């Protein structure tokens, strides 16, 4: 055969590395951690094998385990000791994230990112207080749910912004290195930026969940963090999976409001969005490889249908290839360990 072009030449073992376009490093990864104020022991999370909710007193030990694998950053989620309609425990100075952040930043070198949202703190499980008008009708949320009337109840956007400002400031005051608002409220980045700057935290960056979709892939997380909505769904504020142009609009708004890092969530079903953002913007792009993406690979591996280590690595590599600079993933520790083993 007289072939001029033979791409296989560059696939030989000794040259593959030289021409490799994408690489994955432990320093690209952020490990999510669940801190639980309701328990004094570590509790395994059934739908997320290998992950646990850890009590506040164990949070330093948990972060040290992460650091040992070479991963340098953690994202903290909190399960508060009590919930109410407004989610007031989210900004309490002695709240679960505030306490854990103080301990972790005092005792480790981890880069601590905190999730700023209300769904784990409200008794109805939505990402902010519900619209006054609807609440004053005096019916219980559960009742609405049971009667199927919940769909028109929604989160009060502007009231939520005030709470997000308070939460972000309380996290920064506890020592958080970066703030990550995930509630998909209009104006949330601007409100938080203003709050942080007002209180002297102008050096604390914001990683915005800029394009966060209303996704069924969050299922296991909602079990883990006890944050499932008690009625309805999050369609009124999270994005429609059908939309890509809208994601660019969301991102542009967050950029205008001062976002430092732009996140897409989930990751694998939305790699087109990661790649669109990478092309349009110069900000670092993050992707959140969410709980459902983790759970499905584990489930298939448990059945012997997939090699877990290989599919995890391939998934994360593909997220980087699409254009993500950083990846939030429950595989962080395992993949980081795999990477250093193969070195």
331 binds ligand PBG (CB under 6 A): no
* Site stretch for ligand PBG (CB under 6 A), options 18-26, 53-61, 114-122, 299-307: 114-122
315 binds ligand PBG (CB under 6 A): no
Contact call for residues 287 and 212 (beta carbons, < 8 A): no
Reference 75, options 216, 179, 225; nearest CA is 179
- Shortest CB 4 distance to ligand PBG, Å: 48
Near ligand PBG by CB under 6 A: residue from 291, 295, 298, 332: 291
Phi, psi (rounded to 5 degrees) for 84: -145, 180
Q: Which lies closer to ligand PBG via its Cβ, residue 56 or residue 127?
A: 127
Contact call for residues 164 and 194 (beta carbons, < 8 A): no
Q: Which lies closer to ligand PBG via its Cβ, residue 201 or residue 288?
A: 288
127 binds ligand PBG (CB under 6 A): yes
- Shortest CB 234 distance to ligand PBG, Å: 6
Establish whether 83 is a catalytic residue. no
164 binds ligand PBG (CB under 6 A): no
Going by DSSP bridges, is the β-strand pair 29-36/178-181 parallel, antiparallel, or unpaired? Answer: unpaired
Which pair of tokens denotes residue 256? 């205008």
Q: Which lies closer to ligand PBG via its Cβ, residue 160 or residue 182?
A: 182
Judged on CB neighbours under 10 Å (0-12, 13-18, 19+), 241 is middle
The size of the interface with ligand PBG (CB under 6 A), counted in residues, is 12
- Shortest CB 117 distance to ligand PBG, Å: 4
Write each residue from 2 to 41 as x if it is in contact with ligand PBG (CB under 6 A), else as -, in one continuous string. Answer: ----------------------------------------
**17 C-beta neighbours (distance < 10 Å), count:** 8
Residues in 167-226 that interact with ligand PBG by CB under 6 A? 182-183, 218, 221-222
Q: Which lies closer to ligand PBG via its Cβ, residue 127 or residue 255?
A: 127
CA distance between the termini of the chain: 38
Establish whether 212 is a catalytic residue. yes
Q: Binding-site residues for 5-aminolevulinate, please?
A: 222, 234, 291, 330
- Shortest CB 13 distance to ligand PBG, Å: 36
Contact call for residues 127 and 185 (beta carbons, < 8 A): yes
252 binds ligand PBG (CB under 6 A): no
- Shortest CB 219 distance to ligand PBG, Å: 7
119 binds ligand PBG (CB under 6 A): yes
115 binds ligand PBG (CB under 6 A): yes
- Shortest CB 262 distance to ligand PBG, Å: 16
Q: Which lies closer to ligand PBG via its Cβ, residue 199 or residue 308?
A: 308
Reference 22, options 330, 313, 342; nearest CA is 313
User: Residues interacting with ligand PBG, by CB under 6 A?
Assistant: 115, 117, 119, 127, 182-183, 218, 221-222, 227, 290-291
Question: Where in the sequence numbering do the catalytic residues fall?
Answer: 212, 265
């Amino acid at each position: 055969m007289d072939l001029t072009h033979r791409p296989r030449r560059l696939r030989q073992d000794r040259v593959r590395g030289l021409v490799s376009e994408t690489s994955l490093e432990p320093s690209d990864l952020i490990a999510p951690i669940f801190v639980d104020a309701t328990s004094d022991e570590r509790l395994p999370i059934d739908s997320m094998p290998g992950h646990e909710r850890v009590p506040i007193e164990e949070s330093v030990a948990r972060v040290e385990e992460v650091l040992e694998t070479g991963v340098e950053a953690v994202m903290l989620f909190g399960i508060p000791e009590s919930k109410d309609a407004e989610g007031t425990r989210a900004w309490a100075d002695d709240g679960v994230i505030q306490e854990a952040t103080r301990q972790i930043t005092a005792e480790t070198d981890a880069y601590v990112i905190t999730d700023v949202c209300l769904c784990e703190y409200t008794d109805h499980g939505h990402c902010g207080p519900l619209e006054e008008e609807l609440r004053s009708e005096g019916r219980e949320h559960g009742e609405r749910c049971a009667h199927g009337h919940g769909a028109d109840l929604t989160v009060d956007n502007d009231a939520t912004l005030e709470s997000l400002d308070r939460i972000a400031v309380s996290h920064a005051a506890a020592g958080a290195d970066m703030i990550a608002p995930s509630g998909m409220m209009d104006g949330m980045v601007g409100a938080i930026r203003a709050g942080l700057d007002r209180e002297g935290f102008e050096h604390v960056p914001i990683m915005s969940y800029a394009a966060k979709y209303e996704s069924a892939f969050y299922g296991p997380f909602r079990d883990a963090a006890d944050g499932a909505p008690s009625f309805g769904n999050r369609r009124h504020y999270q994005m429609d999976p059908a939309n890509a142009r809208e994601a660019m609009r969301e991102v542009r708004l967050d950029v205008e409001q001062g976002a430092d890092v732009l996140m897409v969530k989930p990751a694998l079903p939305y790699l087109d969005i990661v790649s669109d953002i990478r092309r349009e913007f110069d900000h670092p792009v993050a992707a959140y490889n969410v709980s459902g993406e983790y759970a499905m690979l584990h489930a298939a591996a448990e059945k012997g249908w997939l090699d877990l280590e290989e599919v995890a690595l391939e998934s994360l590599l593909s997220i980087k290839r699409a254009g993500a600079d950083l990846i939030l993933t429950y595989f962080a520790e395992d993949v980081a360990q795999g990477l250093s083993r193969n070195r």
